[in-house]
Structure 1
């Protein structure tokens, strides 16, 4: 099992849907349960009591029908947790192993940008010390802000506080995982500039060979391509978007990004 981490508008969906074109990989639609399960299990040490609650929560989420149910039934979730190790990693391995089995795939993963905001809790419950594999995609925060300005769901004034969140969450995950063999950092800019190399590195982490179909943009995300947030998903990789922020952001916003997230920008090679 693997988790694809990244801030919103970092290319998480682009990377996810490219990986989903691999015949041995399945990543369901974006879920909402991992962070909540971490909080539940972090507050209840008795697995005999929390197991049923965790299973009930997962199968009762508003998006269960659209995200997990096409790949695993509620009954199978309960059954998987009955034999799962009593950890968050154990829960995820049990569920996603069954999802992979049901779809005839070798590997299943999860992609939910919101989970990066709970990185400290995920670390506290031992997820970062588990055998789960982590793909971590980062994008220049200036590019993210420019992209956030183009989606309807982005709140006004997000450029004021988002750079600090981007700095803390991405640095925290990277500092905790950088030296471990089950972690891979992928920069969005490198993905769109050389997708073959970036995707090869991803499949190597997952123990799979590169597959040419991952580069087929015409087959990418047919269900999502009409979503206002994902209008470019069906297009070829666009390296010119990496620095498009230079033409769209004001000097004040650019300076604010540098002042509030300079540490992570340096670590990830943006300064």
Structure 2
């Protein structure tokens, strides 16, 4: 099982849908499973009780009907959780392992930008010390902010506080995992300029062979293209978007990003 971590508008969906073109990999639609389960596990001292609540929370969530129900029955969700090793990582490996089996895939992963917001809780419940594999995609905060300002779901004023969130969450994850063999840092800018090289690094981490099919934009994310937020999914990788923020951000917003996120920008090589 693996998890794709990344801030909103950092290329998480582009990466997810590229990996989904691999014949041995499946990543379902975005879920809230990991963060929800982490908070339950972190607030319940009895694992027997926590696991029972986690199973029922998954079944009761909107995620179940859209993500899991087409492949796993409620009984199968409960069975996977009950048979799992007593930890959040164990539960995730059991559920996503079962999902991979139903899909006829070797590997199943999860992708949700919301998970990065729960990084401290994920650390507390031991997920970051598990054998789960982690792919961490980072995009220049100025590019992420420029993209957020172009979607209709971002709250007003997000440019004021998002750089600080970007700085803390990405830096926290990196500091926790950077020296571990089951972690890989990917930069959005490298993904769109050298996709074959970056995707090969990811498949190497995941233990599957690289496949050229992951580069086929014509088949990427077909079910998401009607969403205005993902209108470019069917386009070839777009390296020209890397520096688009230079013309889209005001000098004030740009300066605020560079000041508020300066530590992580330096660590990740953004000047």
SS in 2 for 1:70: coil
Give the aligned partner of residue 227 of structure 1.
227
Separation in 2, partners of 1:200, 1:63:
30
Shift of 1:72: 2.1
Q: Report the Cα distance in structure 1 between the residues aligned to 2:30 and 2:60, rounded to whole angstroms.
A: 15
Q: Give TM-score scaled by structure 2 length.
A: 0.99
> Map of 1:146-157 to 2, 5 A cutoff?
146-157=146-157
Residue number in structure 1 paired with 2:169: 169
Distance 2:188 2:71 in 1: 28
| 1:42 alignment counterpart | 42
- Alpha-carbon distance in 2 for matches of 1:129, 1:183: 11
Gaps of 5+ in 2: none
Cα-to-partner distance string for 1:22-72 (whole Å, 9 max, x where unaligned): 000000000012111111111112122222211000111023211222232
1:206 and 2:206 aligned: yes
Out of 6-15 and 71-80, give the one that drifted further: 71-80
Q: After TM superposition, list the pairs within 5 Å mapping 1:244-255 onto structure 2.
A: 244-255=244-255
Rounded Cα–Cα distance in structure 1 between residues aligned with 2:227 and 2:25: 23
Q: 1:58 matched to which residue of 2?
A: 58
Aligned counterpart, 2:69: 69
Deviations 1:130-172 (A, max 9, x none): 0000000000000001101110001111100000000000000
Q: Which residue of 2 aligns with 1:127?
A: 127
Where does residue 16 of structure 1 map in the other structure? 16
The TM-score with structure 1 as length reference comes to: 0.99
Residue 39 of structure 2 corresponds to residue 32 of structure 1: no
Query: Residues 160-218 of structure 1: CA distance to partner in whole angstroms, max 9, x if unpaired?
Result: 00000000000000000000000000000000000000100010000011000000000
SS at match of 1:150: coil
Taking the TM superposition and a 5 Å limit, the aligned residue runs for 1:132-143 are 132-143=132-143
Structure 1: give runs of 5+ residues left out of the alignment. Answer: none
Write the distance in 2 (CA, Å) between the matches of 1:208 and 1:92: 20
Number of equivalences: 271
Give the secondary-structure state (helix, strand or coil) at the position aligned to 1:234.
Answer: coil
Report whether the alignment pairs 1:86 with 2:70: no
TM-superposed CA distance for 1:82, in Å, is 1.4
CA–CA separation in structure 2 for the residues paired with 1:48 and 1:17: 36
1:101 and 2:101 matched: yes
**Cα RMSD (Å) of the superposition?**
0.7
